[in-house]
Amino acid sequence: SQQGEEDPQALSIQEGENATMNCSYKTSINNLQWYRQNSGRGLVHLILIRSNEREKHSGRLRVTLDTSKKSSSLLITASRAADTASYFCATDADSGYALNFGKGTSLLVTP
Amino acid sequence: GAVVSQHPSRVICKSGTSVKIECRSLDFQATTMFWYRQFPKQSLMLMATSNEGSKATYEQGVEKDKFLINHASLTLSTLTVTSAHPEDSSFYICSGQRETQYFGPGTRLLVL
C-alpha cells in the first residue's frame, strides 16, 4: 500500500535557487530512496539512504532522514532547468521487499 | 550497474485484446521481479510480486486472472493484460531485485 507522502505536491522555482522536497512515511523502513521521473519516462535512481544514516550527499543533492519523525528531505542546490521533473521517495520494509512510493513532487525550474 | 529492459516500450491495442509485456534482467539473475502501474499524474502502485518458478503474489484490488504474470526464468518475467479495456491504459514498470531494485524503462499501454 502507498505509504509515502511528499510535499509540496508542486514546486516552481527559478534557475539557481534551491529546491527542497519532503517525504513522510508511516512504518519502519530498511532504506529510503529518491527517484526522478521526467514526463512520460522511466525512473532515474538518485540516491539511497539507509535507516541508520542521517544525511547523504551526491553532487548537488542532499538527502536527510529522520527516522524518529519518519521523514526525509531532498535538497537540490543551484537548480537547473534540466532538473524539471517529478520526484518520488520510495521506502522498503526490508531487503527484497517491494517499494512503496510517495505521491511525488512536481518540480518546475524556469530559466 | 544492473540493467532491466522492457518490451515493448509502447503499445496501442483495441479493447478486448490481450497484450504481453516482457521484463528482462540483462546482466543479472532476478529471482524476484515486481510489476508497478502508474496512471497519469499519479505515483507508482505495486501490482504484483513475481517469483521465479512460483505463482505471483498480487496486491489487493489487482485481478490475477486479468493480469497474468509468468516468471519462467531468472531473467524474464511477463505481464499479460487480458481482455484489455481503456481503463487499463497506463504506464507499466517492472523492476528486478538484486541488492536493490533496478527498474525497467516502462511500457506505455493505450487501449482504444
Residue B1 pLDDT > 80? no
Nearest-by-CA chain A residue for B1: A45
Instruction: Indicate yes or no: CB of B43 within 8 angstroms of CB of A104.
Output: yes
* Chain B residues closer than 8 Å to A100 by CB: 46
Question: Considering CB atoms only, which of B43, B95, B100 is closest to A2?
Answer: B43
Chain A interface includes B93 (CB < 8 A): yes
CA distance, residue B38 to nearest chain A CA (Å): 10
Residues pairing with B68 in the sheet: B80
Q: Give the tens place of pLDDT for each residue, A12-68.
A: 999 999 999 999 998 889 999 999 999 888 999 999 999 999 999 999 999 999 999
Q: Give the tens place of pLDDT for each residue, B37-73.
A: 999 989 999 999 999 888 999 999 999 999 999 998 9
Confidence category of residue B14, pLDDT binned at 50, 70, 90: very high
Q: What is the DSSP string of B60-81?
A: TT--TTTEEEEEEETTEEEEEE
- Per DSSP, chain A holds a count of helices (H) and strands (E) of 0, 11
Q: What is the dihedral of CA A26, A29, A34, A37, to 10 degrees?
A: -70
Task: State the Cα–Cα distance between residues B66 and B75, nearest whole angstrom.
Answer: 23
Confidence category of residue B99, pLDDT binned at 50, 70, 90: confident
Identify the residue with better confidence: A2 or B18.
Answer: B18
